[in-house]
């Protein structure tokens, strides 16, 4: 079983829609969690850290469920500029990335 699993997509959604991504992890000792965004042929950049209490940044909401070992990312009122690949990242002493979920927002 992979340490971090994501649905690779692609997700093609109309502008203004709400889209949700999930990610599961296998190491119960994992201590911190992140969502990164990667644009085509660029390096990944931090989108949000993920906390047990959940956290929100504008249109983006991230949640962590330790009991079920999954993290989620919700994007509301999606914009064309949200088109990218979204990577979940788990830190268990080393940073392990999911395969990424490709999102395309359609005008």
Partner 1 sequence: DGGITQSPKYLFRKEGQNVTLSCEQNLNHDAMYWYRQDPGQGLRLIYYSQIVNDFQKGDIAEGYSVSREKKESFPLTVTSAQKNPTAFYLCASSFQDRGAEAFFGQGTRLTVV
Strand pairing class (32-38; 45-50):
antiparallel
Calculate the alpha carbon distances from 70 to 39, 65, 91 in Å.
24, 5, 13
Q: Which residue lies nearer to partner 1 by CB, 93 or 107?
A: 93
Q: How far is the CB of 27 from partner 1 (least distance, A)?
A: 12
Q: How far is the CB of 77 from partner 1 (least distance, A)?
A: 25
In a 13 Å sphere around the CA of 19, the CA atoms on its Cβ side amount to: 24
Q: Which residue lies nearer to partner 1 by CB, 10 or 16?
A: 10
Distance between CA atoms of residues 67 and 49, nearest Å: 18
Question: Would you tell me which residues interact with partner 1 (CB under 8 A)?
Answer: 6, 31-32, 34, 41-46, 49, 87, 89, 91, 93-100
Q: How far is the CB of 47 from partner 1 (least distance, A)?
A: 10
Q: How far is the CB of 87 from partner 1 (least distance, A)?
A: 7
- The 3-state DSSP class for residue 82 equals helix
Q: Which residue lies nearer to partner 1 by CB, 90 or 105?
A: 90
């Amino acid at each position: 079983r992979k340490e971090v699993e994501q649905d690779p997509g692609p997700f093609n959604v109309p502008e203004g829609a709400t889209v949700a991504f999930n990610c599961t992890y296998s190491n119960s000792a994992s201590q911190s969690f992140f969502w990164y965004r990667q644009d085509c042929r660029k390096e990944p950049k931090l989108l949000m850290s993920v906390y047990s209490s959940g956290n929100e940044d504008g249109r983006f909401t991230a949640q962590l469920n330790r009991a079920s070992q999954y993290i989620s990312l919700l994007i509301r009122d999606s914009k064309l500029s949200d088109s990218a690949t979204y990577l979940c990242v788990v830190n268990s002493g080393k940073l392990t990335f999911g395969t990424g979920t490709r999102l395309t927002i359609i005008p």
